Structure 1
């Protein structure tokens, strides 16, 4: 059906009850019906001032949209993330600090990469570690710590530094750790992040350019092409992969072969 014709639009709206409009529930539709507004066309032809007085700005926008007046940009519908979490269960229990630090560095680097892909900056960096709550004859330990930066950042180096500082605050030797992770929060949109005169950790010169080069190379050549030394080379702490499902659509070596 071609709805580019205004007459056809009005004819269709006159045939639709007002509760067919998105966002108009039973309560509002009953109130509109009592006011003589029974169809979508009735709503579109309603006085804007009347709608604003008896309802709210949301319904006013709806009326304007029905008249062909755009009130919301497409970007307003895209939900922004409130937090980014990178965490995994380890392939083998971690008992030593260097291995845990490598894991936290890797999770922090991955979280920072996700942050940049969202064109965001963050000020809140948190690290958590925990043992298995189901381990027999082993005391459970789980804890988290966080760092709040004065100046928002999206630089992996800043985020790794904050994550490892948090790890230092909660690390306890003598446990067999099952899981750890890094969480980012308190986001600022790109271009909105402001400098803080009292922050000792001022933005690094060339930070955005360096991170862009790193992300581009890792996207082109494969994740882990460029990485930070703190992430380690032989990562024995990696998550369990023995029961990993085959990747039939992305890895040719996993395709079934018939002889």
Structure 2
């Protein structure tokens, strides 16, 4: 049975240099954060302020690169050449890393966002472009990718460390992918149901799909989203439940 797990959260997803209201409190219940790099949300001042809070809270910092899609929060699929995906990922890692370095610490990981993340889970060329950008920037970084996805495979192929990610508030398809957000029941809004799913994924390394099929899944890091109305209470509930179960927060 797993004795430790990483909890991560997507943060810094605002503009005008004002961190999201929940960001600082959420950092009390996670071990790593993924900070928006300006392409789907965030800007220079927001990145700087969010990094500052993360350093004070002593959580590890990851870059959260996206397709260039502010209008749709990075959730619109874009058919970009693999070379362009490599370029935009490298660009965004570099942007956030500047603020991380200035704050006296080091970037820990990279986790793609939204449509880029979901497309790369299935598309080997996109996955390889992302993994190569991460590796070329710093081969000691960890690539966070959907458990069982092409991103995990791409990282392994080039000798880059990876962390298999599962989601607390999302439902799963039979092939291990996330239910698209534009489909019914993609999100789990009942906190108790979401918690039960998290505990099963961590304890048993399994998840029940929308079709009620139980599939194996590797859980090395659990994503909790910080933009819901009960985000802080949910994060606290997961943190306290894992701790009560003898599972500590630890990085992959």
TM value normalised by structure 2: 0.23
| Bigger radius of gyration among the two | 1
TM-score of the superposed pair, with normalisation by structure 1: 0.23
